[in-house]
Structure 1
Amino acid sequence: MAETLKKRNEVPEELKWDTSRIYKTNEDCMEALHECTKISFEIEEKYKGKLTNGKAINDCLAEYEKFLILVDYVSNYTSLNVSVDFTDAELQRIDSIATNEYMEAFSRLSFIESEISDAPKEVLEQALETATIAKNYLKDILRAKPHRQSAETEAALVALNEVFRAPYRMYEQTKLADMKFPDFEVKGEKHPLGYSLFEDNYEYEKDTDVRRAAFTAFSSKLRDYMYTTAAEYGATVRTEKILSKLGKYDSVFDYLLFDQKVTRGMYDRQIDLIMEKLAPHMRKYARLLKKANGLDKMTYADLKIALDPEYDPKVTIEESKKYILDGLSIMGADYQDMLKEAYEKRWIDFAQNVGKSTGGFCASPYRKGSFILLSWNERMSDVFTLAHELGHAGHFKACGDAQNYYNNNVSTYVVEAPSTINELLMAEYLKETNKDDKRFRRWVLSAQIANTYYHNFVTHLLEAAYQREVYKLVDQGEAVPAEKLNEIFRGVLEKFWGEDVELTEGCELTWMRQPHYYMGLYSYCYSASLTIATQVMKRIRSLGAPAVEDWKKTLAAGSTVDPIEFAKMAGVDITTDAALIDTIEYIGGIIDEIESLMD
């Protein structure tokens, strides 16, 4: 049973990531912050009102890149430190000071994009022709030109960026600092409860009474903050609608999809096809879970349990290293070196402590390695999570090594492909190394469904389906109070799970748990990326080394390609339904094989 969480200062250093790889001390970070401000004044004095020819534009962008890299380091350093302990007021103070100062600098430099966008056509053509590092950046400015405001308005919008981010900050504070969960009791025994304890432990708990009681207690506390969270989320979506109107977009969807460089059709296809064609397969999986666990009924609180609860291999952090290195060996020697460095140089925050962000993520400051957050519970599922986040690390190492800072970002539509393919490669490795053990094979197959595909094709996809309905209302100028959000989320669950899953009271509050809603249209990108990853994995299994090399070149492409070109480089066509339908059939095939191995 899970123990009461430790405070951050009680956690051993070896379980924490090492942010000194960015800056040794807070003082060093503040010094870099002041350097950012200094550079911004120098650029303003040297170039404002003078971006009248291609040379001036490119010289300015070369200096601006140095500023952007410094901000990347400062913002990551302060926000990463906060993310592992939202109860530390001093870390919050430093992060707030840093954010305010570099956002002022961004506002000061907003003239760069405005002047470039307003420059005569011949000047822009000259800048593009002679650009050495910022060609794609210039193309993006031109692409956004129809949606730009006046220079004064753009500067004001940049200055207000921290205000626009405030609802997300308040959401994180509400969730990670304000919510205090009381113990809950089952058969006379008390159990501690917290956000990460519930999401990382109790959702997977073998004891049905404890698991369901934990869900009830957790939901009860969520409900106490329902109106606050709805207000925070409502402020976010209303802000996005206002910004879409200011930018002269046809809808809030067009505004949010613009930077992803995908069409509304690609977005809708992902949601509609999965809701229709994957639902029958997942209902079958729910029935298998019920049968395997001998449940009286299948409830929403039971969906995360193991298919074989008595067969749940425990894995220490040290043991995970061999799994990771062996399972991802197909990626080659350079990739192996990166994986070893992640363990040796403390890229990973394994700790469980009070105030730490839930879930997992990977932040990758430019050419500084990565910072991976997760909470280690000694489950094999943690190995899959770690492989996933190391996929992000490998992606941005490849981008960083091959590209300048301007070309280092990628569309969120594909950003989860390098992470989810690592989970698939791990599963293939485990199946290969235990060919004759049918129980182990069934366990690996069920782990693929319960972890990789459930997380990306179900959890996040249902969020995306809910999110789409919210934005439809926002686009029409309607309000989205807490009761409406509950109604929408429950409706999505009913549509997907049908009569095979009893929707436990509190299921409708699941919308309160996900930070992705504060990141635009991000949730659907998980299934979009995993569609690409599944097809690439199948290609690697079929073609071997040539497919691996294609994939590694794709990883290094950064933002020099859009999502369709990214997939094409890796040998996948995402311009039609075919790749998604094939992936759904692949998931169905796994579930069918699980059923055949049930005995």
Structure 2
Amino acid sequence: MSAAPAARMLPKRNEIPDEMKWKLEDMYATTEQWEQDFQEVRNLIVKIQGFAGKLAESAHNLLDCLKVQDQLAEKMGRLYAYARMRRDEDNTNATYQALTDRAATLSVQASSATAFVTPEILSIPPETLEQFMAEEPELQLYQFALQEILRTKEHVLSPAEEQLLAAVGELAHAPGTIFGMLNNADIKFPTIRDENGEEVELTKGRYIQFLESKDRRVRKDAFEALYATYRQQKNTLAAILNASVKKDVFYAKVRKYESARHAAMDADNIPVEVYDNLIRTVREYLPEMYRYVRLRKKLLGVDELHMYDLFAPIVPDVEFKISYEEAKRIVAKGLEPLGEEYGSILQEGFNSRWIDVHENQGKTSGAYSWGPYGTHPFVLLNWQDNMNNMFTLAHEMGHAIHSYFTNTTQPFTYSDYTIFVAEVASTCNEALVLEHLLRTTSDPRERMYLINHQLEAFRGTVFRQTMFAEFEKMTHEKVEAGEPLTPELLCQMYRELNLDYYGPDMVVDEEIDMEWARIPHFYNAFYVYKYATGFSAATALSQQILREGKPAVDRYIRFLKSGSSDYSINLLKAAGVDMTSPQPIRDALDVFKKLLDEMEQLAEQVR
């Protein structure tokens, strides 16, 4: 009797080739340099505390304080980004766990030390502020930032209260930190048998790959194994999420907001109606989602469509197996309409180790783009050779180049940008790459495959993220009403939403009731709706770029260079879309409807 083959395990970090790793040395060449900046931030904390109580005395004091605050924030941002990204390489590495903890603690100290700034500025009479602006020309740089502080005046507390809130900041991050450790370092999934009968370790990175398997048994085994693992921790996970939601509600109450949702949206100066419009408009289009579910069921040829069938290929005899190198070439070609400047930055990112490509033991799952001011951005991937990963590369490079343009154009004060606009840059890239592929594909089966990819993008980004947004709204309203978020309640609410969003032709398996337990975004509340609004805006902008050419490209690049120099709604209007109206959501969902029509026609042709 022969021994069972050994399971294919993930490589260790030191087994990944250097050229496939990001070069974090571009932030700090050595840990000693990091330690020097750590000490410098401590010094700046002492320095800024010397301005407390003195901002109203002179324009000079106000300007110097704002400059020191910028220096402090810039260095603190780099310290934390480096430590956290090193930890993300391998969450089991104790050295970088410690560095991240130290950076987080220092960040709280910095927030506490600067907590007096906003209340003191708000206490300066408006006529005195105007006089300061006239006396000190360098204060003009801060005009919009000061205007933004004045906008939120009614929600800012006294200096002592602000300092207290800043001091408990580390506690406020605890639910997200605990969830991250449990989800990335401690949870271990079992092995399953792949299509060839080999035992393979289930990981979060491989999960979607298994769900895309043509073998239904593999899909079902991966689905059940993943959620059974989370279900074993359901009480702990519910307690962590409950704590996170309570934290959101606490901050909203003390800052005198109507709700946690109002507080979150006010940070970007986005009307709450934008959120409500999104949910209402997407629900109007749910019959189109049900039609897509019926088509998927028909093309798979199954009596029952299960949740683990949602990623299965429905176009026979077409498989886009795309290597990382090939993906880079396709993405570059698809983004050519954005012009030479954009293309050269893209190549720099590809060639200068901005990207951490492969999955390894202990590495943070998923994908993101991040990078502090003063360095280029970085991208974390967990690469698998498929089309989804190619679009993830396009998506994250959209974020990265947005950051690059902003950081090299704007002063530090306006170098950040809101998440509301962030998802536009990333999703516009995806739309352009897809359009390129559709333009160069005439084979009906390949065309079906690509259209289905875009239908899946709509399902995942507009429908699913709106469902997540509705779940967040419900969880916060429950806590605001004094109800605890028990595992049973969370599962029940999540199940009802899945029934609503997928309709009568979908078997909503009980395993999916636990999906709330593995969504990291729920620890950054009222974030996910921006994926859906961003997708809609990006759909409009990509069409303008392809239709108008240079004028639309110029508007778009100006938008990418704007940072936070104006409100998000205004920046998008200047780029060409008005998100205060539900119309961009309708327009995007009409594209979904049109693609679905073509998919149904192609399905008849290839039968």
Q: Same fold (TM over 0.5)?
A: yes
Give unpaired runs (5+ residues) of structure 1: none
CA deviation map 1:116-159 (0-9, x unaligned): 12222222233455423322221121112111112111111112
Q: Output aligned runs, 1:329-348, within 5 Å.
A: 329-348=336-355
Which of 112, 120, 123 in structure 2 is aligned with 1:115? Answer: 120
Q: What do the CA deviations read for 1:85-130 (whole angstroms, capped 9, x no partner)?
A: 1111211011111221232122112222221122222222334554
Alignment of 1:158-197 (within 5 A): 158-185=166-193, 189=197, 191-197=199-205
Measure, in 2, the Cα distance between the counterparts of 1:50 and 1:390: 41
Q: 1:392 to 1:187 in 2, by over 3 A?
A: closer
Match of 2:394 in 1: 387
Following superposition, the deviation at residue 50 of structure 1 comes to 4.2
C-alpha distance in 2, partners of 1:573/1:39?
A: 41
User: How many angstroms apart in 1 are the aligned matches of 2:194 and 2:383?
Assistant: 25
**Does the aligned pair in 2 maintain the 1:198–1:214 contact within 8 Å?**
no
Distance 1:2 1:370, change over 3 A: farther
**Alignment partner, residue 421 of structure 2:** 414
Of 302, 322, 326, 1:315 maps to: 322
For 1:197 and 1:191, the matched residues in 2 are separated by 16
Instruction: Tell whether the 8 Å contact from 1:473 to 1:479 is kept in structure 2 after alignment.
Output: yes
Whole-Å separation in 1 of the counterparts to 2:316 and 2:378: 32
Q: Give the CA deviation at 1:491.
A: 0.7
Among candidates 213, 226, 239, match of residue 247 of structure 2:
239
Match for 2:148 among 123, 140, 155? 140
Correspondence 1:351 to 2:358 = yes
Q: 1:553 aligns with which of 551, 558, 582?
A: 558
Q: Distance in 1 between matches of 2:548 and 2:566?
A: 24
* Cα pair distance change 1:543/1:2, threshold 3 Å: farther
Distance 1:469 1:128, change over 3 A: farther
Amino acid aligned to 2:446: F
- In the alignment, structure 1 residue 268 sits paired with structure 2 residue 273: no
CA contact 1:33–1:102 (8 Å) conserved in 2: no
Task: Label 1:468 to 1:50 Cα distance change in 2 as closer, same or farther (>3 A).
Answer: closer
8 Å contact 2:465–2:532 — kept in the other structure?
A: yes
Paired residues of 1:554 and 1:569 also in contact (CA < 8 A): yes
Q: For 2:261 and 2:223, how far apart are their aligned partners in 1?
A: 33
Distance 1:283 1:3, change over 3 A: farther
- Give 2:544's aligned amino acid: R
Contact 1:206 1:309 (C-alpha < 8 Å) held by counterparts: no
Counterparts of residues 4-403 of structure 1 (less than 5 Å): 4-46=9-51, 48-128=53-133, 130=137, 131-185=139-193, 189=197, 191-277=199-285, 279-308=286-315, 310-403=317-410
Picking from 520, 523, 530, the partner of 2:528 is 523
- Closer, same or farther: CA 286–68 of 1 in aligned 2, 3 Å: same
Letter in 2 for 1:421: C
Which residue identity is paired with 1:89? Answer: A
Tell me what 2:585 maps to.
Answer: 580
Superposed CA offset, 1:148-173 (max 9, x none): 11211111111211110011010011
Q: Which moved more, 1:302-311 or 1:325-334?
A: 302-311
Q: Which moved more, 1:199-208 or 1:517-526?
A: 199-208
TM-score, normalised on structure 2? Answer: 0.95
Deviation for aligned residue 1:479: 1.1
Give 3-state SS (helix, strand or coil) of 1:346's partner.
Answer: coil
Please point out which of 427, 449, 453 is paired with 1:447. 453
Q: Measure the CA separation in 2 of the matches of 1:197 and 1:2.
A: 16
Query: Which deviates the most, 440-449 or 244-253?
Result: 440-449
Q: Does 1:539 pair with 2:531?
A: no
1:312 and 1:26 mapped to 2: Cα distance? 45
CA distance in structure 1 between the aligned counterparts of 2:346 and 2:92, rounded to whole angstroms: 31
Query: CA offset at residue 493 of structure 1?
Result: 0.5
Q: Does 1:511 align with 2:516?
A: yes
How many positions carry a matched residue from both structures? 596
Of the structure 1 ranges 176-185 and 577-586, higher mean CA displacement relative to structure 2 is found in 176-185
Distance in 2 (CA, whole Å) between partners of 1:135 and 1:419 is: 29
How many angstroms does 1:354 deviate by? Answer: 1.8
Deviation string 1:59-103 (CA, Å, 9 cap, x unpaired) is: 211222111111111111011111221111211011111221232
Are the structure 2 counterparts of residues 353 and 309 from structure 1 closer, same or farther at C-alpha, using a change threshold of 3 Å?
A: farther
For 1:133, what is the secondary structure of its paired residue? helix
1:423 maps to which of 430, 445, 466:
430
**Structure 1 residue matching 2:581: 3-state secondary structure:** coil
Cα gap change, 1:339 to 1:3, in 2 (>3 Å)? farther
CA distance in 2, matches of 1:464, 1:583: 18
Deviation larger for 509-518 or 458-467? 458-467
| Identity percentage of aligned residues | 29
SS in structure 2 of the partner of residue 117 of structure 1: helix
For the structure 1 residues 157 and 47, does the alpha-carbon distance in structure 2 shift closer, same or farther, using more than 3 Å as the test?
A: closer
Q: What CA deviation, in whole Å up to 9, does each residue of 1:17-66 have, x standing for no partner?
A: 11111101222112111111111212222555344233321221122211
Gap change, CA 1:328 and 1:2, over 3 Å in 2: farther
User: What SS does structure 1 have at the residue aligned with 2:554?
Assistant: helix
1:456-506 per-residue CA deviation (whole Å, 9 max, x = no partner) reads 113322211111111111221221111111111111100111111101121
Q: Distance in 2 between matches of 1:128 and 1:516?
A: 40
Return the offset for 1:543.
1.4
Q: What residue ranges of structure 2 are gaps of 5+ in the alignment? A: 1-5
Matched residue, 2:3: none
Which string of whole-angstrom CA distances, capped at 9 and with x for unpartnered residues, describes residues 383-424 of structure 1?
A: 111000111111111111221111122222222000001000
Conserved 8 A contact 2:195-2:218 = no
Q: Could you tell me how far apart the structure 2 residues matched to 1:479 and 1:292 are?
A: 43
Distance 1:111 1:121, change over 3 A: same
Q: Quote how far apart the aligned CAs of 1:564 are.
A: 2.1
Task: Render the CA deviation track for 1:531-554: whole Å, top value 9, x for unaligned.
Answer: 111111121222121111111111
Supply the distance in 2 between the matched residues of 1:115 and 1:148 (Cα, whole angstroms).
10
For 1:433, which of 416, 434, 440 is the aligned residue? 440
Q: Aligned partners of 2:65 and 2:599: how far apart in 1?
A: 59
SS of the equivalent of 2:366 reads coil
Question: Contact 1:36–1:67 at 8 Å: present in 2 too?
Answer: yes
Question: Following TM superposition, by how much is the alpha carbon of 1:186 offset from its aligned partner in structure 2, in angstroms?
Answer: 7.6
For 1:187 and 1:524, locate their aligned partners in 2 and report how far apart those are by CA, in whole Å. Answer: 36
Please give the alpha-carbon distance, in whole angstroms, between the structure 2 residues aligned to 1:105 and 1:470: 32
**Maintained 8 Å contact 1:289/1:306:** no
2:252 partner letter: S
Q: Contact 1:200 / 1:375 at 8 angstroms: preserved in 2?
A: no
* TM-score, normalised by the number of residues in structure 1: 0.96
SS at match of 2:22: coil
Mapped partners of 2:58, 2:486: distance in 1: 51
Query: Deviation at 1:445?
Result: 1.2
> Given that residues 58 and 127 in structure 1 are in contact (C-alpha distance below 8 angstroms), is that contact kept between their aligned partners in structure 2?
no
Over 3 Å counting, the alpha-carbon distance change for 1:446 and 1:186 in structure 2 is closer
CA distance in 1, matches of 2:304, 2:29: 54
Distance 2:432 2:263 in 1: 35
Worse-matched range after superposition: 568-577 or 341-350: 568-577
**Distance between the aligned counterparts of 1:447 and 1:127, measured in 2?**
56
